[in-house]
Chain A
């Protein structure tokens, strides 16, 4: 990451004209139905949405506000979901600039940020879990997957350690399509959450480690099943650190290719009605909206109904930007709010394409006592493979 010029940063923050459109705009013709999930699910003071966050950032930078944990709260109480950016007419990217502010002000007290960074540094995952359990799911599957190949499945920490069904089903899809692929022995964390929370120097060191590890597998193509890993490996490494990467594909992109090449044979699933949650990192950040939908719709018997809003104006699940660790109650509350919207579609299943979203939506579902099932696209696709 290049040195941040504070004057430039300030000038960029001053692109905000304080119009407030990033609070709760409803613009039916353009698909907006609310903007900031934090505003909606907290006390709703000005600090909760981007207009106020920018004012706080400017004041912390110029010393008008003292740099305390309380004064910094609004900077971290943000999922960096980018919906404010989507509606903002000014020539800057509010959500990205918030990430830069977090980096510049990274001496601000924030325990969860520091714990996560330490955990990634010491055990290669943000959950402080034993890294040796990373390939256990493969053993459970009974698949003989090598550690080097031209195609690498980069599993990611959440699929590898928490929701292993996603890892398993991704592997089974690849296997069904007769794709030879590798899984690393000691896969490092992509470092996404370090970047989001402002620990950029450590994120750079971590990125170098990841790149070396990927190189060692001989991979020419890397498949991921996590929206955060996708954005980090495909976009952030090159944009922030100037690192060249092999081709990085999300499994929804790769599966679409497999379907087009007729490498997967699908059977009908019994007339199920599903809806789709657009993960912010996959949608707004990488502009991947249609592939997951095309996969869902390719499965006979599956009826996809859209939740409102969706695609580029979708509301975040509340997990991103380090929010899930910084304020897990709020994060869950946002997820529950989102689950309510899914319930209104009449669907019995919510499909997503990010293990982090899935984890949070499940937590939200519990909070709401909802009986909607939350699954990943790979779970659904795997069920349909003959």
Chain B
């Protein structure tokens, strides 16, 4: 990389926070994404403030250097793999937290993880009730950039639903603020839909393609203290699917709910069953593992009754094993990490949303692809808001078997195409979802136009958002 460019970075952040060392660059050539090729960047810089980020982007724009914003580096679908010889901006030093107790909101810098925020809010008996299973490593800003979800989303939906405003450094280095905080006289973040079109929404899920989010303002809620854990059994997928929909339709508050088909549940229990103390059980063909949570006990009691009566109406049964949902919920910041890493396989992930009533279609296609390619995998997911089911299927391969890895990469591509046909949607616009899909062309063209206007030099995360 041009030494004068590197020197200019040093002038902005100081020598300590710029690196062009081979070992450092190597470690930024990958992320938690597995099954993606590594790409070595040219420089890594670690700014400490919005002002520094702004100066860096001005500089990169002037030199037309491709930029990859990076926070936790925990994304799983290649979103933070940099450009060859490009610039990685590591945002973890932006670690401020500001609570607006009266407005029931909090503003966090781009480097703040969910774990850090949760500890902070807990002192005030508050929370942001969406916990990606990567909460210990991923940042709130990074999760907004991918529009993620997690345990807790059963009530609140994906992270987008909670965002009240963003501070964004545009590719030309200008800083904008969205939501109520766009008005410097406002007491803080209290409404996202201020000043016309939803610019906040444009940035959510944008994978850093339109600018760098330096601060996120987000809703806080009183922490639930009353929980009830139960597993409900159904003979058919339809029964389990309808159960989830009816629960939300009747306003039963379920921060976490997941449908398990028998064979996947068995696999999950092999991984984590003993740790959660889950007893030997005659499991039904389809199990809904649910955590019901409320602020008040009377609300909880009413929800428990309602859940049971819906279950009965749908010819289901109460399985009576609370340990499964309880383990999932209480370990929510790392349940998935534990169940996914205790075995030796590596995996590729294909996050997507499916209508809960269509849950079985995703499951069918995942199995079809696994059978076709002769590979193993799983079909897990969780309810997100009342109207969507967030799948995170994994396709496994042996880390030292290149051939098997290739097979999984191919299966992954095919699965995305098959899922698209079932009506599933991605929450992040990876290239493989829309590549060559005729029906998506006008949509993609619109995004291209936006990108051209916002980032005419195409420096921000090129190729990541839908291949643009």
Q: Residues on A close to B: CB < 8 A?
A: 7, 10-11, 14-15, 17-21, 23-29, 32-33, 43-47, 51-52, 55-56, 59, 64-66, 70-71, 73-74, 87-91
Within 8 A of A (CB), among B68-100: 72-74, 90, 92-93
Known contacts A26-B113, A47-B24; is A18 also within 8 Å of B34 by CB? yes
Known contacts A11-B399, A65-B26; is A91 also within 8 Å of B344 by CB? yes
Known contacts A27-B115, A43-B16; is A17 also within 8 Å of B34 by CB? yes
Known contacts A25-B136, A26-B115, A44-B92; is A17 also within 8 Å of B341 by CB? yes
Residue of B16, B23, B346 near A73 (CB, 8 A) is B23
How many Å from the CB of B369 to the closest CB on chain A?
22
Contact B137 A18 (CB under 8 A): no
Within 8 A of A (CB), among B330-362: 330, 333-334, 337-338, 340-344, 346
Contact B119 A18 (CB under 8 A): no
How many Å from the CB of A56 to the closest CB on chain B?
5
25 chain-A/chain-B pairs, Cβ below 8 angstroms: A10-B400, A11-B399, A11-B400, A18-B33, A18-B34, A20-B137, A21-B337, A23-B137, A25-B115, A25-B136, A25-B137, A27-B115, A28-B115, A43-B19, A45-B19, A47-B24, A47-B27, A52-B24, A59-B23, A59-B26, A70-B22, A71-B21, A88-B341, A89-B334, A90-B342
A20 to B119, CA, bound (A): 19
A26 to B135, CA, bound (A): 9
Contact B32 A20 (CB under 8 A): yes
Interface Cβ pair total, 8 Å cutoff: 129
Say if the beta carbon of B461 comes within 8 Å of chain A: no
A residues near B90, Cβ cutoff 8 Å: 44-46
Contact B73 A20 (CB under 8 A): yes
Closest to B74 in A: A20
A93 to B140, CA, bound (A): 29
Contact B46 A24 (CB under 8 A): no
Closest to B34 in A: A17
Known contacts A10-B400, A28-B118; is A89 also within 8 Å of B337 by CB? yes
Contact A46 B113 (CB under 8 A): no
Say if the beta carbon of B110 comes within 8 Å of chain A: no
A73 to B134, CA, bound (A): 29
Interface extent on B, as a size class? 35 or more
Say if the beta carbon of B311 comes within 8 Å of chain A: no
Known contacts A43-B17, A46-B73, A71-B22; is A19 also within 8 Å of B30 by CB? no
A1 to B337, CA, bound (A): 33
Known: A18-B34, A44-B90, A45-B44. 7 other contacts (CB 8 A): A18-B73, A26-B115, A44-B46, A45-B28, A45-B46, A45-B90, A47-B23
Contact B119 A21 (CB under 8 A): no
Known contacts A46-B27, A90-B342; is A21 also within 8 Å of B400 by CB? no
Which of A21, A25, A51, A70 counts the most B-chain CB atoms under 10 A from its CB?
Answer: A21
B residues near A89, Cβ cutoff 8 Å: 334, 337-338, 340-342
A-B interface, 5 closest residue pairs, ranked by CB to CB distance from nearest: A46-B27, A52-B27, A25-B136, A26-B115, A89-B341
Beta-carbon contacts of B383-403 to A below 8 Å, as 1s and 0s?
A: 000000000000000011000
B residues near A43, Cβ cutoff 8 Å: 16-17, 19, 46
Say if the beta carbon of B55 comes within 8 Å of chain A: no
Contact A28 B122 (CB under 8 A): yes
A7 to B31, CA, bound (A): 23
A47 to B337, CA, bound (A): 22
Closest to B95 in A: A24
How many Å from the CB of A307 to the closest CB on chain B?
16
A363 to B344, CA, bound (A): 42
Contact A19 B137 (CB under 8 A): yes
Contact B26 A55 (CB under 8 A): yes
A179 to B390, CA, bound (A): 66
Contact A65 B337 (CB under 8 A): no
Say if the beta carbon of B116 comes within 8 Å of chain A: yes
A residues near B27, Cβ cutoff 8 Å: 45-47, 51-52, 55-56
A74 to B122, CA, bound (A): 35
How many Å from the CB of A183 to the closest CB on chain B?
45
A residues near B93, Cβ cutoff 8 Å: 44
B residues near A66, Cβ cutoff 8 Å: 22
How many Å from the CB of B265 to the closest CB on chain A?
20
Which of B122, B330, B399 counts the most A-chain CB atoms under 10 A from its CB?
Answer: B399
A74 to B24, CA, bound (A): 9
A91 to B346, CA, bound (A): 12
Known contacts A10-B400, A29-B330; is A21 also within 8 Å of B137 by CB? yes
A14 to B32, CA, bound (A): 12
Within 8 A of A (CB), among B27-78: 27-28, 30-34, 44, 46, 72-74
How many Å from the CB of B404 to the closest CB on chain A?
13
How many Å from the CB of A277 to the closest CB on chain B?
22
Residue of A11, A73, A74, A90 near B341 (CB, 8 A) is A90
A17 to B73, CA, bound (A): 12
How many Å from the CB of B399 to the closest CB on chain A?
4
How many Å from the CB of B40 to the closest CB on chain A?
10
B residues near A65, Cβ cutoff 8 Å: 22-23, 26
A20 to B139, CA, bound (A): 12
